[in-house]
Amino acid sequence: MAFLVVIIILALIFDYINGFHDAANSIATIVSTKVLTPFQAVLWAAVFNFAAFFVSKYIIGEFKIGNTIARSVDEHFITLEVIFSGLIAAICWNLLTWWFGIPSSSSHTLLGGFMGAAIAHAGGISDGGHHVINYVRVIPTFLFIFGAPLIGMIMAWLITVIIVNICKRANPYKADSWFRRWEVARKVMSVGD
């Protein structure tokens, strides 16, 4: 029972670290461009992150990231020790990447920590521990780790070309006003990233 309490506390610590690890990235551009004040941006992020919980729970019906992580490993290898080790690994990696300013995904970190702990619990890869991984769930996530930056680059290029062509003759003050509104709309759409 005490070990379970420790794991729950570690999960809350991971969630807290995830918050300051990812929230700063979420509001940095909207504050640095002076679209919103720091207080407004933090309040805005808090309200929409809270709303995202209810959308996931009552409209979508599930927490897809949590389910992906939970189903990434064969359930027979999920023990308190595996969960504990995965959380410790994810916390350490998040703190390390935050300290050095390396962009990383807390969800992917937790997924990797959880899978690594399960493989170690099964005796390692050399002992056939690779069978504990649910590759049907993990491979799409793994591919998007590499594919997302490429897709983002292509989309950013396309959007930039479109915006440059639309705004060639625009009044700079009117364009700035529109971009500020679009920045707020973009932040609303990126809640939960």
pLDDT the model gives residue 190: 59
Give the residue with greater pLDDT, 131 vs 130.
131
pLDDT the model gives residue 129: 65
pLDDT in tens, 139-155: 888 888 888 889 999 99
pLDDT in tens, 28-66: 777 888 888 888 888 888 887 788 778 877 887 777 776
pLDDT the model gives residue 29: 77
The full DSSP string for the chain is: -HHHHHHHHHHHHHHHHHHHHHHHHHHHHHHHTTSS-HHHHHHHHHHHHHHHHHIIIIII-S-HHHHHHHTSB-GGG--HHHHHHHHHHHHHHHHHHHHHT----HHHHHHHHHHHHHHHHTT-GGGTGGGGB-HHHHHHHHHHHHHHHHHHHHHHHHHHHHHHHHTTT--HHHHHHHHHHHHHHHHHHTTT-
Report the range of poorest mean pLDDT among 84-98, 111-125, 166-180. Answer: 166-180
Task: Specify the pTM.
Answer: 0.71
pLDDT in tens, 79-115: 899 999 999 999 999 999 988 888 888 888 888 898 8
Is 186 a residue whose pLDDT tops 80? no
pLDDT the model gives residue 6: 93
